[in-house]
């Protein structure tokens, strides 16, 4: 439902993406509207599959306005030809999102009077909980703008531009029906000076209608460049608030991180009250905001890092090979990787490590575009929050009494953890918590039964 | 005893950074890897020193060796140059990340051995920690450097500048830091103006904790850099220029380390052109015959300054 997202850029020369999105989560460059549709960036999603200098970048469009108003300008490091641009499958982004989303895990306490069972519980018997989902050529020349390529891909009309100066580029875009946000000119210049090209897309209404689709599909581009970055500055032009960007980096090596800002793990593995199950999205939003504020709003958060071959607990099945290919993973097809069918059963998609980074940014805290690097860090990480349901049956044994007594302390601890993570009022939290039916008998009853 | 040597301050400061990093920077620092690299550096240093001394003893006449019952801890430290090894280990712990013990062992041992192998006229020219980092990056598949993890907060900048300044003042090598940072900042400023970025981009780049740590604690190792001030200035400016080039033209996020590595051998050449007395950690750099033995070990010891 939200508006829109876009995405990123990478490798050799530089990759810059500009997108504008109107609402909910995300990142990016800017969307250029043709009408006065209010467009704000809220949440963009970008998938970067990268191996050495090769990159396949997928920008997910969750555009909510009238498609005829949709337009996108993204700085890219190289001139892209038709063969390098592709329309992706929107489901893949959803799959990646679901697979890597921060998750709740539920555990159920066993009967404390049945120690065998109780011990068995210590082994991870996790029930997977739902994850949060989360002009003419001459004229062009006089403007210093060169149309390097022009083609259609799916429902999109795409133009690849190179420009000599930002005034000319702005004029060209305006003449061709793109409405540039104010202030974009100054921001376009650095990309021009860095010799970047501009990927400009709008929707071909006829094709779009023919496709029968209701939504715009993601755009994918493949290129080779040492630049591994995402130009977020453009996306801040018409943003009025903080913007969210979710970046999924798929790498054959290991975790990806940001090199010019700190990369910090989101708080994880906390035991929180059971009632959060019904308000997980509120919890996560509050928790993220609290962490973001605590880190002075200038870090990138690591939400998930995992080998794509497995998950534990899974909030969604790992992507299969075909899905990975659709997500841009290009290195699995080389013969050597395919020759391990036996491994597949254990780890169907080894050689793909996913890193999910969540960046919430504003102009004052993120002056520079994001620069990434892959590392060899293979440690797994997930944003994971634990619910432990207390045992509710009757307990009659001594251990059971101890257990019941311990619940009061445990609930309080959970309440405090929740308050600390989210900044919620501890009193409100306590009100929602179950009263630990303090089965504790008056002290004298031990003597006078 | 303690804190008598500038390197003691250095060890203190680098340890402080390491603790700060672990507590406040949320790193994926692994205590076991830190331990491994420490042990590796200390053991390698001890072995290398004894091998070197044995070799040395074989050549000249090994007659008088009476005064060796200095069993004090300080003497052991000094003889084996363990301070230097410790500084190298701390530097590696602060900057290098790895997934396995073997990588850390390789980094630590290469760092120390480089002092003994890449040695010209009894002066090593690679910064040991830097050498270890580059060796791990080139020779292994699981090493990396996280240049963004120090962030760009002003109080870190102040902390680094304050502690680094304390040491540089005592060692007299602030010129190197100034020349490196000055030239690099100048080039970044020009680029910033040319591109049309706002100045906060420039500041963000220069406030990087990793860059400052490098400029104040690594590039200033008085033992491996040129002896004459003019030589140091030329050397530091070259590193600043190469860093700028690698970062902005070739998009190398760890540009500073590669620049220092590539230009380290230049020290020999610069020392040849501009001669000056060599830096020595001891107070009496002019060896008399009687303290020759002691001086030798001192020499070895001093070879590592900031191996950060």
How far, CA to CA in Å, does A109 sit from each of A250, A262, A305, B273? 37, 38, 29, 77
Task: Please report residues of B whose CB lies closer than 8 A to that of A265.
Answer: 26
Chain B residues within an 8 Å CB radius of A256: none
**pLDDT number for residue B289:** 32
Rg (CA), chain B: 19
Mean pLDDT of chain A: 78
**What's the full length of chain B, in residues?**
308
- Asked if A373 is an interface residue toward chain B (Cβ–Cβ < 8 A), one would say yes
| Whole-number pLDDT of residue B82 | 87
Q: Specify the higher pLDDT residue, A310 or A293.
A: A293
Q: Do A227 and B152 touch (CB under 8 A)?
A: no
Contact A176/B at CB under 8 A: no
- What is residue A352's predicted lDDT score, i.e. its pLDDT? 93
| Half-sphere exposure (Cβ direction) of A275: Cα atoms closer than 13 Å | 12
CB contact under 8 A, B148 and A262: yes
CA distance A10 to A63: 23
**Selection from A64, A364, A354 nearest residue A236 by Cα:** A364
Q: How many CB atoms lie within 10 A of CB A405?
A: 14
Region B83-91: what's the mean pLDDT?
93
Would you call B208 and A378 a contact, using CB atoms and an 8 Å cutoff?
no
Confidence category of residue B295, pLDDT binned at 50, 70, 90: very low
Alpha-carbon gap, residue B116 to B303, rounded angstroms:
9
Q: What is the pLDDT of residues A363-380, one digit of tens each?
A: 889 999 999 999 988 889
pLDDT band for position A7 (50/70/90)? very low
Given this model, what pLDDT does residue A236 score? Answer: 75
pLDDT of residue B134: 97
Q: Kindly state the average pLDDT of the residues B61-78.
A: 51
Smallest CA-to-CA distance from B38 within B112, B116, B100, B99 is with B112
Q: Quick check: A262 and B142 CB within 8 A?
A: no
What percent of chain A is predicted at pLDDT more than 90?
Answer: 37
Do residues A27 and A7 touch, judged by C-beta distance below 8 A?
yes
Q: How far, CA to CA in Å, does A158 sit from each of A92, A149, A185, A218?
A: 22, 8, 21, 13
Exposure of B91 by Cβ count < 10 A (0-12 exposed, 13-18 middle, 19+ buried)? buried
Task: List the single best residue of B197, B201, B207, B250 to mutate versus A (max A Cβ within 10 A).
Answer: B197
> Which chain B residue shows the shortest CA-CA distance from A257?
B146
Q: Check residue A74 and give its pLDDT.
A: 87
Identify the band that residue A187 occupies on the pLDDT scale cut at 50, 70 and 90.
Answer: confident
- Interface size A-B, in CB pairs within 8 Å, comes to 79
Minimum CA–CA partner of B210 in chain A: A260
- Cβ atoms of A49 and A327 within 8 Å: the answer is yes
User: How far out from the chain centre does Cα A203 lie?
Assistant: 25
Q: Does A226 touch chain B (CB under 8 A)?
A: yes
pLDDT at A105 over 50: yes
Comparing B92 with A349, the larger pLDDT belongs to B92
Q: Is the pLDDT of residue B65 over 60?
A: no
Q: Which residues contact A435 (CB under 8 A, 6 or more apart)?
A: none
* CA gap A184, A30 in Å, rounded: 9
Q: What is the mean pLDDT of residues A45-74?
A: 86
Residue B56 has a pLDDT of 72
| Inter-chain residue contact A257 with B148, CB threshold 8 Å | yes
Of residues A391 and B306, the one with the higher pLDDT is A391
From chain B, the residues in CB contact with A16 under 8 A are none
- The C-alpha torsion from B162 through B165 and B169 to B172, rounded to 10°, is 170
Query: Which residues make Cβ contacts (< 8 Å) with residue A44, sequence separation at least 6?
Result: A4, A5, A6, A7, A19, A21, A25, A26, A27, A28, A59, A60, A235, A243, A244, A245, A246
- Could you tell me if A367 lies within 8 Å of chain B, comparing CB atoms? yes
Mean pLDDT of chain B: 83
Q: Residue B215: is its pLDDT beyond 90?
A: yes
Please tell me the predicted confidence (pLDDT) of residue B21: 85
Tell me what the mean pLDDT of segment A308-336 comes to.
82
User: Per-residue pLDDT tens for B164-174?
Assistant: 988 888 888 88
Q: Would you state the structure tokens that stand for residue B273, as one six-digit string?
A: 């052109």
Residue B269 has pLDDT above 60, yes or no: yes
Nearest-angstrom CA–CA distance, A37 and A39: 6
Question: What is the spatial order of strands in the sheet that A370-374 belongs to?
Answer: A229-230, A370-374, A256-258
Nearest Cα of chain B lies from the Cα of A389 at a distance, in angstroms, of 31
Q: Of A421-430, B162-171, B293-302, where does mean pLDDT reach its minimum? A: B293-302
Give the tokens for residue A20.
Answer: 């504008």
Instruction: For an interface test with B, give the residue of A225, A252, A260, A372 to mutate (most B CBs within 10 A).
Output: A260
Q: Is B25 on the interface with A (CB under 8 A)?
A: yes
The dihedrals phi and psi of A28, each to the nearest 5 degrees, come to 115, -150
Report the C-alpha gap between A429 and A164 in whole angstroms: 59
Q: In the numeric block, which tokens belong to residue A268?
A: 């994880």
For residue B195, report the phi and psi dihedrals to the nearest 5 degrees.
-75, -30
Higher-confidence residue: A38 or B227? B227
CB contacts, 8 Å: A260 with chain B: 147-148, 204-205, 208, 253
Using the beta-carbon criterion (under 8 Å), do B26 and A298 form an inter-chain contact? no
Q: Which residue has the higher pLDDT, B2 or B275?
A: B275
**Peptide bond preceding B98 in cis form (omega within 30 of 0):** no
pLDDT tens figures, A238-277:
667 788 888 999 999 899 999 999 999 999 989 999 898 8
Neighbours of B252 (CB within 10 A): 18
Shortest CA gap A368–chain B (Å): 5
Q: What ipTM was predicted for this assembly?
A: 0.83
pLDDT, residue A439, reads: 52
Chain B residues with CB-CB distance to A378 below 8 A: 99, 142
The answer to whether B151 contacts A228, with C-beta atoms less than 8 Å apart, is no
């Amino acid at each position: 439902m939200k508006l829109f997202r876009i995405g990123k850029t990478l490798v050799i020369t530089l990759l810059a993406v500009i997108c504008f999105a109107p609402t909910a989560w995300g990142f990016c460059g800017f969307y250029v509207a043709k009408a006065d549709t209010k467009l704000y960036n809220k949440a963009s999603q970008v998938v970067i599959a990268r191996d050495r200098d090769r990159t396949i970048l997928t920008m997910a469009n969750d555009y909510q306005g009238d498609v005829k108003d949709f337009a996108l300008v993204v700085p890219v490091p190289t001139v892209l030809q038709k063969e390098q641009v592709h329309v992706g499958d929107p489901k893949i982004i959803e799959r990646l999102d679901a697979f890597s989303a921060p998750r709740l895990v539920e555990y159920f306490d066993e009967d404390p009077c049945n120690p065998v069972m109780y011990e068995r519980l210590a082994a991870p018997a996790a029930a997977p909980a739902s994850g949060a989902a989360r002009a003419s050529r001459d004229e062009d020349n006089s403007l210093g703008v060169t149309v390097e390529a022009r083609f259609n891909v799916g429902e999109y009309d795409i133009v690849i531009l190179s420009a000599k100066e930002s005034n000319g580029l702005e004029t060209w875009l305006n003449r061709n029906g793109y409405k540039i946000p104010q202030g974009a000119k100054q921001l376009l210049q650095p990309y021009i000076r860095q010799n970047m090209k501009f990927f400009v897309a709008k929707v071909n209404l006829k094709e779009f209608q023919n496709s029968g689709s209701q939504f715009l599909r993601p755009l994918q581009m493949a290129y080779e460049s040492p630049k591994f970055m995402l130009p977020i500055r453009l996306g801040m032009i018409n943003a009025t608030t903080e913007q969210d960007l979710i970046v999924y980096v798929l790498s054959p090596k290991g975790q990806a991180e940001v090199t010019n800002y700190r990369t910090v793990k989101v708080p994880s593995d906390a035991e929180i009250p059971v009632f959060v199950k019904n308000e997980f999205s509120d919890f996560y939003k509050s928790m993220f905001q609290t962490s973001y504020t605590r880190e002075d709003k200038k870090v990138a958060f690591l939400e998930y890092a995992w080998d794509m071959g497995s998950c534990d607990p899974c909030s969604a099945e790992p992507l299969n090979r075909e899905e990975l290919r659709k997500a841009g993973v290009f290195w699995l097809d080389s013969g050597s990787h395919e020759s391990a069918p036996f491994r597949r059963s254990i780890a169907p998609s080894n050689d793909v490590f996913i890193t999910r980074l969540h960046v919430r940014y504003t102009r004052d805290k993120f002056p520079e575009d994001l620069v990434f690097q892959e590392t060899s860090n293979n440690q797994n990480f997930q944003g994971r929050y634990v619910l432990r349901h207390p045992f509710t049956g009757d307990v009659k044994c001594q251990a059971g009494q101890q257990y019941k007594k311990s619940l009061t302390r445990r609930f309080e601890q959970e309440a405090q953890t929740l308050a600390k993570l989210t900044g919620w009022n501890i009193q409100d939290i306590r009100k929602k918590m179950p009263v630990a039916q303090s089965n504790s008998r008056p002290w004298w009853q031990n003597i006078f039964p | 005893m303690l804190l008598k040597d500038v390197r003691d301050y250095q060890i203190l400061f680098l340890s402080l950074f390491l603790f700060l990093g672990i507590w406040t920077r949320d790193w994926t620092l692994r205590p076991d890897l830190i331990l491994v690299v420490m042990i590796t550096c200390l053991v390698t240093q001890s072995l290398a020193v004894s091998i070197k001394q044995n070799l040395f003893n074989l050549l000249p006449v090994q007659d008088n060796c009476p005064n060796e019952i200095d069993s004090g801890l300080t003497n052991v430290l000094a003889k084996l140059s363990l301070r230097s090894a410790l500084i190298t280990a701390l530097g590696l712990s602060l900057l290098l990340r790895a997934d396995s013990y073997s990588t850390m062992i390789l980094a630590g041992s290469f760092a120390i051995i480089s002092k003994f192998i890449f040695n010209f006229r009894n002066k090593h020219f690679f910064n040991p920690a830097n050498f270890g980092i580059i060796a791990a990056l080139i020779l292994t598949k699981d090493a990396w450097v996280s240049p963004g993890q120090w962030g760009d907060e002003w109080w870190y900048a102040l902390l680094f500048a304050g502690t680094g300044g304390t040491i540089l003042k005592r060692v007299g090598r602030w010129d190197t830091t100034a020349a490196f940072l000055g030239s690099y900042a100048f080039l970044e400023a020009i680029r910033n103006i040319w591109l049309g970025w706002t100045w906060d981009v420039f500041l963000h780049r220069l406030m990087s904790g990793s860059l400052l740590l490098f400029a104040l604690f690594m590039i200033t190792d008085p033992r491996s850099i040129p002896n004459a001030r003019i030589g140091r200035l030329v050397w530091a400016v070259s590193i600043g220029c190469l860093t700028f080039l690698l970062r902005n033209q070739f998009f190398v996020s760890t540009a500073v380390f590669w620049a220092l590595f590539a230009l380290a051998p230049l020290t020999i050449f610069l020392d040849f052109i501009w001669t000056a007395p060599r830096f020595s950690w001891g107070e009496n750099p002019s060896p008399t015959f009687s303290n020759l033995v002691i001086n030798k070990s001192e020499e070895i010891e001093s070879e590592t300054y900031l191996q950060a």
